[in-house]
Chains A and B, each alone.
Chain A
């Protein structure tokens, strides 16, 4: 038993080839630096030399990492990170999600679960505290994650929580997700890594709780945080959801449209949350242990049934404007199909939009696949999920598809390091462009919140200077701590001094005496660890860039939105130096 507060002081190393598991101790100093979630998961991957292995090989490692706050009364703390080498990028990947899986997983008595090997047949990995076993999952194979989870609940009972892959993960779609209670660890293909191990689902149950160093203070802090979470800083998420971005981004011409050729879409009004609220019934929901309640769920008909579909800005942008599909119902159906197959909506939409442009340019002989054709979008998603026909190529993501097509199509494949860009047009939000280019998991809006810098009055978002590189570093540092301690990023607006308040919360849980400076140092250590992993896995500075079309052409609808290679490189160099790396992005020292 650990004498740590908030931690068990050990992780579980599972070999699904043999069906055996061993608890392994965690060094308290490592926990103090890397905290949990993304930080802890990355550190464990480094220790297991996971950069050496093909992400889909049996030797690869997949980590489910919890955090010291999991199980506490702090709002939004029921979260976990899934960390592995990405089959889409070949670099580090960490995806986060919320659900009771975090709470039940931690109650097994472990701060993380590391999975290696490959089961002989499709299996359910059952972790009941120290008892680990494999059960056949052949009856669940080909079911959606949601359908499989329903069956698992019936079979195992309510004490268990589950993380499940859909057919996309089984079929090794390189951007397959891991799902649980309608939430998804979405980006980078962790679902394919689990599928490659022949694991359809992980079932966890336990009774082992960690204690808190200062329970009274923690409860008081949790009450205060919940109260603040009801305030104006989160009301956008509560009332409209992230979909509220659609109209704003369209007006600012930073809504990626037609495979990042335009920054506005004349069908955006139809896809706004206001229009959806007017057209159909909506239900609001929230993650486990969350007082914000950002989840907006709409009923849609699909394949003769009514489905409940959760809508976020990223789904709408990727499956709507990016593919120029304007029909609200079709976009909702496309989102539902992605959930059904268990595939990332951003990479799905990005890859299909890229393919649509290739068809238009005569580079890909799939004449049915046209911008604006909703039926073609739905057909393409089916082909990807089932890995049939041209879906076999689409399932590898836009970078590999571009390499197959050739003809310099890589210039407009919407990806960085292989990860498709989310819904922030880089030429119109140029601090975000920097964040995309240097992101350790590729183009990403959750590991870098640099778009916030572009919304500052002191910044000209279409003409950024190297001064903004330091601000981009700060948003990454904040995200690294949020993703490791772990709290929802939608809370970030409620803090006056995020690092100071976070250190106080961690101290109440752990009994440590962390300062805001200690947490800043942790953020740097976490990001250095991710970079270290990438360098070990083959990263070179030339990966830190954007698709070359974005560096040579203005947006079709905004001639002020231009960015060139020299400007981006000067931003990257300033960023690298601000990080304490050499100017090309290599670490001065490594732990390997």
Chain B
């Protein structure tokens, strides 16, 4: 399956790209596992946006522009988009 990863704000600064397509040999995959894959691919993401195996509390993950994931896990399927962004939306 293919998952589009979209980076916004600080995650984009750290990873250096706006988006990328990741291909997995599964029909669906846990969001936490996808985040770990991203952290392995991008050492700067691991360094700045992760606390060990968890995404840092200053960042959040959103599936397809709908549901946010911070602590709970969810599943992504082929064609989904995973957004990684700063937790703080203050303007």
- State the A residues within 8 Å of B (CB): 232-233, 235-237, 239-240, 242, 244-245, 247-249, 251-253, 274, 312-314, 317, 422-424, 445, 449, 451-452, 455-457, 459-460, 489-490, 492-493
Contacts and interface: CB of A to CB of B under 8 A. Distances in A.
Contact of B9 (A236, A312, A314, A424): A236
A449 B90 CA distance: 8
Interface stretch (B21-29, B33-41, B55-63): B55-63
Contact of A245 (B12, B68, B89): B89
A452 B83 CA distance: 17
Given A245-B91, A451-B89, A251 B83 contact: yes
Interface of B: 6, 8-10, 12-13, 48, 56, 58, 60, 62, 65, 67-72, 83, 85-91
A543 to B, nearest CB: 24
A274 B7 CA distance: 13
Given A233-B58, A248-B89, A455 B68 contact: yes
B39 to A, nearest CB: 15
A283 B10 CA distance: 19
Contacts of A455: 60, 68, 87, 89
A232 B48 contact: yes
B87 A493 contact: yes
A451 B91 CA distance: 10
Contacts of A245: 89, 91
B63 to A, nearest CB: 10
Contacts of A237: 88
Given A235-B10, A455-B60, A493-B58, A244 B69 contact: no
Nearest to A242: B91
Given A232-B10, A451-B90, A457-B67, 14 more contacts: A232-B48, A232-B58, A235-B10, A236-B9, A237-B88, A240-B10, A251-B6, A252-B62, A252-B65, A317-B91, A457-B72, A489-B90, A490-B90, A493-B88
B46 to A, nearest CB: 13
B91 A457 contact: no
Given A232-B56, A253-B65, A240 B91 contact: no
A239 B89 contact: no
A14 B30 CA distance: 64
A423 B89 CA distance: 11
A244 B65 contact: no
A314 B56 contact: no
A582 B68 CA distance: 34
Contacts of B91: 242, 245, 312-314, 317, 422-424, 445
A449 B60 CA distance: 17
Nearest to B83: A251
A449 B71 CA distance: 21
Contact of A240 (B13, B65, B68): B13
Nearest to B12: A274
A251 B14 CA distance: 19
Contacts of A452: 89-90
B88 A236 contact: yes
A251 B69 contact: no
Nearest to A273: B9
B70 to A, nearest CB: 5
B58 A457 contact: no
27 contacts: A232-B10, A232-B56, A235-B10, A240-B9, A240-B10, A240-B13, A242-B90, A244-B8, A244-B86, A245-B89, A247-B8, A247-B9, A248-B86, A251-B83, A274-B12, A314-B91, A424-B91, A449-B90, A451-B89, A455-B68, A457-B68, A457-B69, A457-B70, A457-B71, A457-B72, A489-B90, A493-B58
Sorted nearest first, the 10 A-B pairs with minimum C-beta distance are: A313-B91, A244-B9, A236-B86, A457-B68, A242-B91, A232-B58, A248-B8, A457-B70, A245-B91, A248-B85
